[in-house]
């Protein structure tokens, strides 16, 4: 099974439209696919239609921004019903927060002598409700502030830099609750990216499980092979289902292309085992 259950379209900070993402997944041999835009489900209808035309199995997904113990984590919802009122309202509240944060980022950049970044970021955003740091990054590259998006993040958009704005996302309990209310399964995205020390990471896994969370990404674009092993151990210990997803955002903005990562360790139970 070539499952890819994590990627982005122009409805959040990806570079391809929902239909284009599905076409690329199909061309790369993916046979079970989910689109998981940040805090938005607006691309799912088009993605499902394209997947149907191509005979590709598709499940509705989303990647929810969460603040836990003062830092940002991402929780993926898979097989969600995008019409669920609880989920829709929750995601709307996060998107409103994004709009406020975008203004603050622009003010912060302006104070550092960079004008027009809010308008600039919007020019790179197809979905005006979903402004991401990635859109600011593309504007800053265009403005000649850094050679590429990766460099721009290091210089401007991370903690301690002029374009950094602290932000409170959803709570872990709310995010998992909305996913479950929408009939979905909640999965911890790219745990290897979180900077918690070991005891705090374990506390995070426990709390996620207590909230009703069920899965963890093992094989994902941001993980090294050592991290596949590390988080496979966590999956065994905490009884989590295992997920695999590239987190593809588009050419030049991704660690991995759709459907190209190694398979999950054979003894783990895949999140799709009973789909
Ligand atoms: P936001 O959710 O608006 O804070 O933006 C986070 C997004 O920015 C992530 O989903 C990535 O797509 C992108 N991103 C975050 N950190 C980096 C980085 N160091 N280099 C490139 N892209 C990044
Ligand atoms: Mn992103
Ligand atoms: Mn993420
Ligand atoms: Mn992602």
Per-residue pLDDT of the chain (275 residues; tens, 9 = 90+): 999 999 999 999 999 999 999 999 999 999 999 999 999 999 999 999 999 999 999 999 999 999 999 999 999 999 999 999 999 999 999 999 999 999 999 999 999 999 999 999 999 999 999 999 999 999 999 999 999 999 999 999 999 999 999 999 999 999 999 999 999 999 999 999 999 999 999 999 999 999 999 999 999 999 999 999 999 999 999 999 999 999 999 998 999 999 999 999 999 999 999 99
Measured from the Cα of 101, ligand 1's closest atom is 3
CB 153 less than 6 A from any atom of ligand 1: yes
Tell the residue nearest (CA) to atom 9 of ligand 1: 134
Structure confidence at residue 194 (pLDDT):
98
What does the pLDDT read at residue 10? 98
Which residue puts its alpha carbon closest to atom 13 of ligand 1?
134
- Distance (Å, whole) CA 243 – CA 4: 9
pTM above threshold 0.85: yes
Q: Is the beta carbon of 124 within 6 A of some atom in ligand 1?
A: no
**Does residue 13's CB lie within 6 angstroms of at least one atom of ligand 1?**
yes
For ligand 4, the distance from its centroid to the CA atom of residue 28, given in whole angstroms, is: 19
């Amino acid at each position: 099974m070539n499952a890819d259950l994590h990627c982005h379209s122009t409805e959040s900070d990806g570079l391809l439209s929902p239909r284009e993402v599905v076409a690329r997944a199909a061309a790369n041999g993916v046979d079970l696919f989910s689109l998981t835009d940040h805090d938005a489900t607006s691309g799912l209808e088009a993605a499902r239609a394209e997947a149907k035309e191509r005979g590709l199995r598709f499940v509705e997904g989303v990647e929810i921004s969460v603040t836990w113990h003062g830092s940002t984590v991402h929780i993926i919802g898979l097989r969600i019903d995008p019409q669920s009122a609880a989920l829709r309202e929750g995601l709307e509240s996060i998107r409103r927060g994004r709009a406020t944060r975008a203004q603050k980022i622009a003010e912060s950049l302006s104070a550092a002598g960079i004008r027009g970044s809010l308008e600039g970021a919007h020019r790179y955003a197809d979905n005006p409700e979903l402004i991401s740091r990635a859109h600011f990054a593309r504007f800053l590259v265009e403005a000649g502030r850094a050679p590429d998006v990766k460099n721009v993040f290091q210089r401007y958009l991370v903690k301690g830099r002029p374009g950094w704005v602290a932000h409170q996302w959803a709570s872990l309990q709310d995010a998992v609750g909305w996913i479950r209310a929408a009939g979905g399964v909640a999965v911890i995205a790219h745990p290897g990216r979180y900077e918690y020390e070991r005891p705090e990471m374990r506390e995070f896994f426990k709390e996620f499980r207590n909230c009703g969370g069920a899965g963890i990404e093992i094989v994902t674009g941001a993980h090294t092979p050592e991290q596949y092993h590390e988080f496979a151990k966590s999956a065994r210990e905490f009884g989590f289902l295992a997920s695999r997803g590239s987190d593809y955002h588009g050419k030049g903005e991704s660690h991995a292309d759709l459907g190209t990562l190694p398979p999950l360790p054979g003894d783990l139970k895949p999140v799709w085992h009973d789909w």
